[in-house]
Structure 1
Amino acid sequence: MTRLPALFVSHGSPMLALDDGLAHRFLVGLGRVLPRPAAILVVSAHWETETPKVSAVERPRTIHDFGGFPRALFEMQYPAPGAPDLAARVAELVPGTQVDPARGLDHGAWVPLKLAYPQADVPVTQLSVQSHLGPAHAYEIGQALRPLRDEGVLILGSGSFTHNLHEFRSSVQEQPPAPWAVAFADWMAQRLEQGDTAAVLDYRNQAPFGLRNHPTEEHLLPLMTVMGAAHPGETLAARHRSYTYGILAMDAWGTAQAA
Structure 2
Amino acid sequence: MPSAVEPSPSASGPRPLPVYFIGHAGVGLLFDESPRNHVVQDNLRAIGEEIRAITPRPKAILTFSGHFEASEIHGPGVIEVNVKKGTHIQHDFVNDFHDSRPSVYEYEWPHTDAPELAVEVWRHLGRAGIKAKRVERGVDHGVWVPFKLMFPAEGEDAAPLDVPIVQVSTFHGYDLAAQIRLGEAVAALRNEGYLIVASGMAVHSFEAIASIRDAATDAERERVRDLVLAESRAFDAALRAALAAKGARAREQALLRLAADGPALRRCHPTVEHFTPLLVAAGAATDADEAVPLGVNVVEPGMSYLNVRFA
Give the one of 238, 242, 252 matched to 1:187. Answer: 238
1:99 correspondence with 2:134:
yes
Is contact 1:94-1:145 (8 Å) kept? yes
Name the residue aligned to 2:218: none
Return the alpha-carbon distance in structure 2 between the equivalents of residues 72 and 120 of structure 1.
Answer: 23
Instruction: Supply the AA of the counterpart residue of 1:10.
Output: G
Name the residue aligned to 1:4: 17
Give the one of 57, 73, 96 matched to 2:104. Answer: 73
TM-score, normalising length from structure 2?
0.75
Segments of 4+ moved more than 6 angstroms: none
Counterpart secondary structure, 1:132: coil
1:14 correspondence with 2:27:
yes
1:203 deviates by 2.1
Name the residue aligned to 1:233: 288
1:12 deviates by 1.7
Is contact 2:43-2:296 (8 Å) kept? no
Return the alpha-carbon distance in structure 2 between the equivalents of residues 203 and 90 of structure 1.
Answer: 30
Counterpart secondary structure, 2:253: helix
**Which structure shows the bigger proportion of residues in helix conformation?**
2
Identity %: 30
1:18 deviates by 2.5
Name the residue aligned to 2:192: 151
Counterpart secondary structure, 1:93: helix
Return the alpha-carbon distance in structure 2 between the equivalents of residues 189 and 163 of structure 1.
Answer: 16
Unpaired stretches in structure 1, ≥5 consecutive residues: none
Counterpart secondary structure, 2:169: strand
Give the one of 206, 213, 218 matched to 2:273. Answer: 218
**Which structure shows the bigger proportion of residues in strand conformation?**
1
Aligned residue pairs total 251
1:39 correspondence with 2:60:
yes
Name the residue aligned to 1:202: 257
Return the alpha-carbon distance in structure 2 between the equivalents of residues 29 and 243 of structure 1.
Answer: 15
Return the alpha-carbon distance in structure 1 between the equivalents of residues 176 and 115 of structure 2.
Answer: 27
Which residues of 2 match residues 141-180 of structure 1 at below 5 A?
141-168=182-209, 169=212, 178-180=229-231
Counterpart secondary structure, 1:202: helix
Give the one of 109, 112, 120 matched to 2:143. Answer: 109
TM-score, normalising length from structure 1?
0.89
